[in-house]
Amino acid sequence: MKTKLTFFDIDETVFHTFAKINVLKDGKLIKKLNNQEFNTYKLKDDESFDFTEFRDSKVFYDTSKPINNIIKLVKKYIKNDERVIFLTAREDFKDKQLFLETFRKYGINIDHPNVYVERSGNLKHIPNVSDRKKEIVKKYLSEKYSVVKMYDDDRKNLETFKNFLLELNYNVDAIQVIGNGRMKKI
């Protein structure tokens, strides 16, 4: 049995990020949302999201700021050969290598064999982020882990994760990252 599997959200969990999600109505820009606003925004009739900035690797590389105490945790887990999955609501980036270079820039061994990035935004057939993330978590449960953790800034994602894993009798920790990296177990 492997020991620990840890999922880390990226935006506002590992890095403060500044890409905006555009809200379009009839094809015209009506509003720009940050990550936190997007988590709770409900589309109105004839509105849609445009994630162009969220797929832009250069915006991610140039503007992301590390949340230092979370970066230290990530490095510790990787150093201990634990399984680390970065589980983001984003889709594929335009330039995968530049995106990964952001992690390297802050000393995260993104190339370690136990580390992977999952982009739940690619699962467009699933309507909401928490269910998309749950679907990805499922695929990692083929191997039994003694502890499964998730760090995320969105409480709904954490609640979905925790409830799902408790039903499967996993030892689970769901940790909300608040503000400048303060953590709150839920």
User: What are the pLDDT tens digits along the chain (186 aa)?
Assistant: 568 999 999 999 999 999 999 999 998 999 999 877 887 888 999 999 998 998 999 999 999 999 999 999 999 999 999 999 999 999 999 999 999 999 999 999 999 999 999 999 999 999 888 999 999 999 999 888 889 999 999 999 999 999 999 999 898 999 999 878 889 999
Determine the pLDDT at residue 165.
93
Whole-angstrom Cα distance, residue 23 to residue 11?
A: 19
Structure token digits, residue 8: 């880390």
Q: Whole-prediction pTM value?
A: 0.91
109: Cα separation from own chain's centroid: 17
